[in-house]
Chain A
């Protein structure tokens, strides 16, 4: 049972904006620990999309953006593309469990 909760699925038409929430608690996101986001295409390894809440690694399109507030974080995808269909996971550190934790994962569908 993950301590970071994400919606199971979100969908949008090409060109639209979608957001994925990641809800934690005072022992992880609320404690000030960084949130990272990953994209996992079917049958492949995860890819780092956003690190330290809002930073994009080199090569990640600026359509992807991250934010954090209180005990939650969000990933936004603007101008949705067909190739954005994938699973997305948030990640943070949990001080009460003393481990890194991943979110429950969100499947993005492009209609």
Chain B
């Protein structure tokens, strides 16, 4: 079965850190660009970051640059998002997604919720 399963979300204090994971199965993960997309409660979608299949190239939205790091382990079919210096405005559902071409994401996980609050 083709699927993505995120984990690692939770409640964290401002300034804290979390590491999200995304386990892929049923498709060629090592040949796929991957994205992280987030959605704050009641708000729209926001693209966060992406990473090349080899892991050698990535990009971030300005609001997370220097705080978030996207990485992958193709041997484990896994994608990660290390989030440091978390802020209240980072509170959102975080989705990982597979890029089928030119940014179109055709496979999505169910999401993992991150809440940043004291």
Contact = CB atoms under 8 A, between A and B. Distances in A.
Given A36-B104, A98-B59, 9 more contacts: A34-B103, A36-B102, A46-B45, A51-B100, A51-B104, A89-B45, A91-B103, A93-B102, A99-B60
Contacts, number: 68
Interface string A77-90: 00000000001010
Interface string A54-72: 0001000000000000000
Contacts of B62: 97, 99
A89 B47 contact: no
Interface of B: 35, 37, 44-47, 50, 59-62, 95, 100-106, 108-111
A38 B108 CA distance: 11
A33 B95 CA distance: 23
A52 B102 CA distance: 8
The 3 A-B pairs at the shortest CB distance, nearest first, are namely: A51-B104, A45-B108, A100-B47
Interface of A: 2, 33-34, 36, 38, 40, 45-48, 51-52, 57, 87, 89, 91-93, 97-105
A51 B103 CA distance: 9
Contacts of B101: 51-52
A100 B103 contact: yes
A105 B45 contact: yes
